[in-house]
Chain A
Amino acid sequence: ETGVTQTPRHLVMGMTNKKSLKCEQHLGHNAMYWYKQSAKKPLELMFVYSLEERVENNSVPSRFSPECPNSSHLFLHLHTLQPEDSALYLCASSQLAGESDTQYFGPGTRLTVL
């Protein structure tokens, strides 16, 4: 299944590094999401883009910076992260104002911050 792809699948970075996570959806959706999934915690919604505009920022620290250049692509730029930011970062997409309200997830990027 290649509806929503994410790269890289695994990432190890130091606290001073800068890296970016990439998400691409091939489903013709207009809304894209970043979630964080930590052990023993529910998925935490980080950002939502609707028609390429950010419509939700769930009190996420500024060391996480999203970018949505078009409706098919979503990035999460990372800099000066902390070890507690280690988690699975999931991208999802859904239709906008459509009958289907299912979110489709990418496989995630497993991030480790040293």
Chain B
Amino acid sequence: RKEVEQDPGPFNVPEGATVAFNCTYSNSASQSFFWYRQDCRKEPKLLMSVYSSGNEDGRFTAQLNRASQYISLLIRDSKLSDSATYLCVVNEEGAQNSGGYQKVTFGIGTKLQVIP
């Protein structure tokens, strides 16, 4: 089983639609979770962290389900500019491992294409 698993898509949705992505992780001890956005031929950039209580940032909502070991990202009122690949990122050993750095594992990413 992959450490971090995502449906690569693509998800083709019309403007204004609501779309949701899920990501599952295998390490139950994982503590930190993130969604990154990567535009075509660009570097990944942090979209939002995912907290246990769930969090919202404008049209974006992230949820964490520890029991089922998955995180989700919901995008409401999709814009053309939301077209990108969304990477699920999991800190696999907790907030700090023995090396004192943030070791994270990336999913393959889910490609979203918002169409006019």
Interface residues of A (CB under 8 A from B): 31, 40-43, 45, 48, 50-51, 55-56, 90, 94, 96-97, 101-108, 110
Contacts and interface: CB of A to CB of B under 8 A. Distances in A.
B83 interface: no
A65 B95 CA distance: 28
Contacts of A40: 8, 108
Interface stretch (B12-20, B58-66, B67-75, B96-104): B96-104
B106 interface: yes
B108 A42 contact: yes
A55 B43 contact: no
Contact of B101 (A41, A48, A90): A48
A103 B99 contact: no
Contacts, number: 59
Interface residues of B, number: 26
A107 B87 CA distance: 16
B6 to A, nearest CB: 8
A31 to B, nearest CB: 4
B113 interface: no
Does more than half of chain A's interface fall in helix, strand or loop, or is it mixed? loop
A42 B109 contact: yes
A39 to B, nearest CB: 11
A101 B108 contact: no
A31 B43 contact: no
B95 A101 contact: yes
A55 B107 CA distance: 22
B60 to A, nearest CB: 16
Give the top 10 A-B pairs by smallest Cβ distance, nearest first: A55-B99, A105-B43, A43-B106, A31-B101, A42-B108, A50-B101, A42-B106, A101-B102, A102-B46, A94-B102
